[in-house]
Amino acid sequence: RSLRRSVPLPGTVRHLQVAAPGGPVLVPDETAGELVEVTLPGGGTRATKVGKQPHDAAGVAHGEVVVGNEFGHSLSFLKDGRVLRTVSGPKQPGGIIGDGASVAVVDVGDFTLSTYDVATRTRTALVRAGKGPTHGVLLSGDRVAVTDTRGNAVLVFSLDPLKQIGRLAVPGAPYG
């Protein structure tokens, strides 16, 4: 395979997610304090200023995007390139997991997993998430897996109700 397109970005990025089938690609640009949306397949970009050090982002219902501002202690809710609301609360939001009408947030500074209602932008639940959670992925309709890097495990949670339902030991400090 060959490189199809290279898209220059203004700062440092670590995590990418696709907002929905067909794009855009969500690129939290940590040093620029922006979320860059990259269209597919064209590679056009739109940058939106968000909070301090955006670390991860996920697409949710109605074309909205939620960004975790890791050192801004906040979540930004965006649509069509503008911030609808910024909510403070998470100590250090790391992983962001979109699930339609809700979003799950891995708080790497507080060792928790929270859920937020996208429509009201309020926290709906909070549980402990191991010894050092970092990121998560949606497994199915109401299940998420969270890497517990310091705990050498992958934790499985149900979202409704939010609770841990499983743990898989994974030596070697899993991260992504």
pTM value is 0.93
CB 113 within 8 A of CB 104: yes
CB 89 within 8 A of CB 50: no
CB 97 within 8 A of CB 81: no
Q: Which residues sit opposite 55 in a β-bridge? A: none
> C-alpha angle 27/164/69, rounded to 5°?
25
Q: Please report the sign of the dihedral spanned by the C-alpha atoms of residue 119, residue 123, residue 125, residue 129.
A: positive
Task: Return the number of other C-beta atoms located less than 10 Å from residue 25's C-beta.
Answer: 17
SS3 (DSSP) at 62? helix
Give the separation between CA 47 and CA 81, rounded to whole angstroms.
7
Contacts 24+ apart (CB under 8 A), 70-73: 70/30, 70/94, 70/108
Phi–psi pair at 33, nearest 5 degrees: 65, 35
pLDDT per position in the chain (176 positions), as tens?
777 788 888 888 888 999 999 999 999 999 999 999 999 999 999 999 999 999 999 999 999 999 999 999 999 999 999 999 999 989 999 999 998 889 999 999 999 999 999 999 999 999 999 999 999 999 987 899 999 999 999 999 999 999 999 999 999 998 87
